[in-house]
Structure 1
Amino acid sequence: MTKTVLITGASSGIGLAIARRFAAEQYEVFNLDIVMAENHDENDHIHYRHCDITNHDAVKQVVDSIASSQTIDVLVSNAGMHFSANIENTQEIDFDRVMSLNVKGAYSVSRAVIPYMKQKQDGVILFIGSDQSSVGKPNSFVYNISKHALASMAKTIALDYAKDNIRANTLCPGTVETPLYHKAIDAYCEKSGADKKRVHAEEAALQPLGRIGHVNDVAALALFLASKDASFITGALYAVDGGYTTG
């Protein structure tokens, strides 16, 4: 029987890798994003739905529309943004913008899918957190708060809906090579005059495994946690960070 996964922000980076991995396993994949992927691979299994995750009513409308013709088996709450600043350099508009996408967006899509998962007494919700879901980092005030919040959401949903056979877990990627990673490195090099190859090598050296993560490292774990092989796993945080947070 065909299963359906909803993924927010699946037009690039980790979200796109997860979409492709689930599609390869014959899931019907719905990408909820405000932009379509540049190299959009709409096919028999990947479907784009325009959705502003920060708009609660829009999220519910899209989810309800999908649920009218599909079961919703898995949700991957991936959409998010990074913001680098300490508390003094975080303006109220910055705080609201990050929390609206990273936290309210996750809340809205989770709240929209849970009633459908309860109806069939089965479901999986995966939050894409960060190594900052469990540790602190400098100049990361509001981003750190938002990623800790996702870990909390997974734990509370896991407890509240275990009776409905709905599992919730958080994946915590560390430094992963994505378009956003390269954008951040490019901005830093432009500002500082540093050599990009050297900065990339330094980032890799910070990881105990000696390399930057790949999007497929995260996608493979997402697929496993959505499978029946992971049916006794809920409320957990899974580091995908090359050992960065072990110290």
Structure 2
Amino acid sequence: MSKKLTGKTVLVTGGGSGIGQSICLRMAQDGARVIILDLTQESAAATAEQVQALGAECEVYACDVANSQQVAQVLGEITQKYPIDILINNAGIAHVGNIENTREEDLDRLYAVNVKGLYNTTLGVIASMKAQGSGIIINMASIASSVGLADRFAYSMSKGAVLSMTLSVAKDYLNDGIRCNCISPGRVHTPFVDNFIAKNYPDNGEEMFEKLSKSQPIGRMAQPEEVAGLVAYLCSEEAAFITGSNFPIDGGFITLNS
């Protein structure tokens, strides 16, 4: 790996597992200092150990991105020590159900993490990025931002907002040297998928895994490392001309299923 991010500080929310963990490891391989914000300290600490084993600096902060006061306090501490060069808004939660199966508290919970959480962390770094005249923000959206998915009412609402906020931030901070893009994964093979199958399909797990894999036109799920590779590109100088864009990484789901 080339050390394209040497000297840069990258803040990753939800870096303890899955896509977030892979992003942390890839940022470390590219030479960055990695800071992890996560609710689950045990998994975040495990990611930090792997990052440090790659020779990179890593710090972990317990933080609920939905809690504005907590985010402001934590980011205040961090920005006093390091300028945040790159923010990866990866933390997010899911919900299955159409509007009739979505309770008000479900809607509020997804809004709090997926929408307000992104607002809190972005607001927490934008002033320092403006002051230094540069910054990169990558938001994790979803194919649900662009196409209709069955039984994903609340999740689609929240990820549609992620896409819209990406465009707004990119537009508002063009003259401050801040680039903002989002990534829209299709189905990615993470521990979340394995746990979901084990819990809901204990008797035919392999069959369900195959069915979910084949729902992507390319015939398989993405690997977290593939999403991390796209993040790495968008954080590099090679992507210096890219802002306000949405990048599907979906095995052809959006375009080939329409």
TM-score (norm 2): 0.92
1:86-139 deviation line (CA, Å, top 9, x unaligned)? 111111111111110010000000011000100011001000111111111111
Measured in 2, the distance between the counterparts of 1:133 and 1:69 equals 35
* Alignment equivalent of 2:7, drawn from 2, 6, 10: 2
Q: Which residue of 2 aligns with 1:33?
A: 38
Aligned counterpart, 1:201: 210
Matching residue within 233, 241, 256 for 1:232: 241
Aligned match of 1:18 in 23, 32, 43? 23
State the identity %: 38
- Out of 217, 226, 249, the position equivalent to 1:217 is 226
CA pair 133-37 structure 1, distance change in 2 beyond 3 A: farther
CA deviation vs aligned residue, 1:192-234 (integer Å, no higher than 9, x gap): x4x1111111122221211111001100000110111101111
- Equivalent residues in 2 for 1:1-247 (5 A)? 2-38=7-43, 39-42=46-49, 43=52, 44-190=56-202, 193=203, 195-246=204-255, 247=258
Pairwise CA distance, 1:34: 1.0
Deviation readout 1:56-110 (Å, 9 max, x if unpaired): 0111111111111111100000100010011111111111111100100000000
Query: Is the partner of 1:138 in helix, strand or coil?
Result: coil
Q: Equivalent residue of 1:2, what SS?
A: coil
Answer whether contact 2:28 2:34 (CA < 8 A) is retained: yes
Match of 2:3 in 1: none
**Aligned residue pairs, count:** 244
* Residue 37 of structure 1, CA deviation: 4.3
Report the more deviating stretch, 62-71 or 143-152. Answer: 62-71
Matched AA of 1:131: I
SS at match of 2:150: coil
* CA RMSD, Structure 1 to Structure 2 (Å): 1.2
Matched residues in 2 for 1:81 and 1:187: separation?
17
| 1:111–1:41 distance in 2 versus 1, CA, 3 Å | closer
**CA distance in 2: counterparts of 1:166 and 1:134, whole angstroms:** 24
Supply the AA of the counterpart residue of 1:203.
L
Once the 2 structures are TM-superposed, how far is the Cα of residue 11 of structure 1 from its aligned partner? Answer: 0.3
Residues 1:210 and 1:37: Cα distance change in structure 2 (over 3 Å): farther
Q: TM-score, normalised by structure 1?
A: 0.95
Deviation at 1:40, TM superposition (A): 3.9
Give the 3-state SS of the residue equivalent to 1:68 in structure 2: helix
SS at match of 1:125: strand
> Residues of 2 paired with 1:40 and 1:153: CA distance?
28
Amino acid paired to 2:170? A
Gaps of 5+ in 2: 1-5
Runs of 4 or more above 6 Å deviation: none
